[in-house]
Structure 1
């Protein structure tokens, strides 16, 4: 049998998608509390286990959605998503569902982990770098294209079109999509910018120009070094824009790059064949009207263990 993968799940990416994909009216507890994000998240996990057949799984969570060390480098980082009272702008009916997700995962025995001072992306990056391969990272976050590594057998299962229509991405797929290898994606994103993360990018530099620059000069350091060479071939307007953005480009790649050295405890990554605490799982399933979703996920886990 071929090696079965470690499935690394970007939990916030999936539960946000579930929250906005399932109407609150379609998933509520007996007392009216919405559980659409929890139900959708569990159903996504069930489908992933059925279709990818991993033998290990970790769900990564944001313990810090906007780490201070990133903000210190680039104050605009996710600034537009800060609530007036502080913290992240999150729908009022989603916030209470996140602890519910982790409680169900604990009862199931599926590893859930985060790290103080780091985002879920950083946890995923560290595990993708340090855990035995093959590894499949599940996320709708484009920044995680940088984790793709053919040599280490790390792929991104991109959920831009949903879990039912995963884009299974190796390095060739990243090149086809953006014109750069996965290893260059962080530099590419810094040049292009990303409004959803508060990254301004370089004025006038879009995806095609960013890819062309990286193809010619290799990486961002090569681009910046070439700016000092009068014969390097930059059009005057582009040179001026890059020179004006030097300060930003000095820090942006560090902000964009996923950390690979997050301190994590020893993790029990093995996919459970049965719930770790079946009584607690049954209690939660009844309390939160999740019986169908819990049963589908348990069935998928049992089948995967065969």
Structure 2
């Protein structure tokens, strides 16, 4: 890649948000909801228009709960399992996922996934491959670990809404949590993340986690100085010693996912205009279709 900018979308994070944020009354010709499809297209159009990337990728969860992560921390996303290894997803959203993928492919927006890896890992790998600026669009805090000033990489964080998204860099992280992107994995391991089934260290919240990292640098530094800690914190860390190492591996996004060489150039028109026109008609994409086409054309 050259020094031009890259915009990486955490696809599932965005289409889940679209599904729960838009009314089910948005339906296709068959009467089935298409709110996730339309919402995702509107989100993509907004970010492409605002940030004008040269390259884009819609990153995909080929494995939403990889076996290698579960082997490290069995509670990882366990509360989101419907049965076996199937994620609990509303039926009306599950029905839309193939339409989402077909629509992205008709547009020519690169859909990138890898067997046994989550979208986070694909995003991390593409971000580290890029030579120029990278911006990651997600509602997932775990990807704050990718923030760094040298490449540079920012997260466009949509937790407060797409229209109110926050531009997360090291200054934002210091103000919010007292850590940087380079510290974020160890911070998250100590604090825990109930949404991913990561318990953290009992009794250590965000402030204590940030203070420990500020004093000792990282988990290894904290472990090396455990004798200097207060009795309560020392007991908590000692009780969690078997959790810390595996949890750090689980939280860390893989940066060497075996991806082929990819052309992530932003298309200026649909790759398959007939297929996109058919999907637009069948799914009643209406203004959402027009907005993504305008975004691609640079209007």
Interval of TM-score (by shorter of Structure 1 and Structure 2):
over 0.9
CA RMSD of aligned residues (A): 1.1
User: Is residue 282–residue 291 contact of structure 1 (8 Å, CA) maintained in 2?
Assistant: no
Partner of 1:264: 259
User: Is the aligned partner of 1:280 residue 2:275?
Assistant: yes
Deviation at 1:49, TM superposition (A): 1.0
1:294 aligns with 2:292: no
What corresponds to 2:242 in structure 1? 247
Whether contact under 8 Å (1:174, 1:180) holds in the other structure is yes
Contact 1:175 1:182 in 2 (8 A): no
Task: Tell me the residue number matched to 1:14.
Answer: 14
The answer on whether the counterparts of 1:10 and 1:61 sit within 8 Å (CA) in structure 2 is: yes
Shift of 1:85: 4.8
Please report how far the alpha carbon of residue 291 of structure 1 lies from its aligned counterpart in structure 2 after TM superposition: 2.9
Shift of 1:30: 1.7
Structure 2 distance, partners of 1:140, 1:86, is: 23
- Using the size of structure 2 for normalisation, the TM-score is 0.97
**Superposition pairs of residues 1-306 of structure 1, within 5 angstroms:** 4-25=4-25, 27-227=26-226, 230=227, 232=228, 234-303=229-298
Structure 1 contact 158–167 (Cα < 8 Å) conserved: yes
**Runs of at least 5 residues in structure 2 that lack an aligned partner in the other structure:** none
CA offset at residue 268 of structure 1?
1.6
Following the alignment from structure 2 to structure 1, what is the Cα–Cα distance between the partners of residues 204 and 279?
A: 50
Q: Secondary structure at the match of 1:94?
A: helix
State the SS of the aligned residue for 1:83: strand
Greater alpha carbon shift after TM alignment, 115-124 vs 85-94: 85-94
Distance (Å, rounded) in 2 between the aligned partners of 1:84 and 1:274:
41
Q: Secondary structure at the match of 1:224?
A: helix
Aligned to 1:238, the other structure's residue is in SS state helix
TM-score by length of structure 1 reads 0.95
Partner secondary structure for residue 168 of structure 1: strand
Q: Deviations over 1:157-192 (max 9, x none)?
A: 111112211111111111111111110100000000
* Offset of residue 4 of structure 1: 4.8
SS of 1:58's partner is strand
**Structure 1, unaligned runs of 5 or more:** none
Higher deviation after alignment, 161-170 or 73-82? 161-170
Moved over 2 A (4+): none
In 2, Cα distance between equivalents of 1:295 and 1:238: 56
SS at match of 1:8: strand
CA distance in 1, matches of 2:254, 2:177: 22
Q: 8 Å contact 1:138–1:158 — kept in the other structure?
A: yes
In structure 2, how many angstroms separate the alpha carbons of the residues matched to 1:182 and 1:120? 18
CA contact (8 A) 1:57 1:271 kept: yes
Contact kept in structure 2, 1:4 and 1:53, CA below 8 Å = no
Q: Distance in 1 between matches of 2:293 and 2:114?
A: 27
- SS at structure 2 position matched to 1:156: strand
Q: Deviations over 1:274-303 (max 9, x none)?
A: 111111110110011113211110111101
Following the alignment from structure 1 to structure 2, what is the Cα–Cα distance between the partners of residues 145 and 116? 23
Change (3 A) 1:220 1:85: closer
Task: Check whether the contact 1:190–1:253 (CA below 8 A) recurs between aligned residues.
Answer: yes
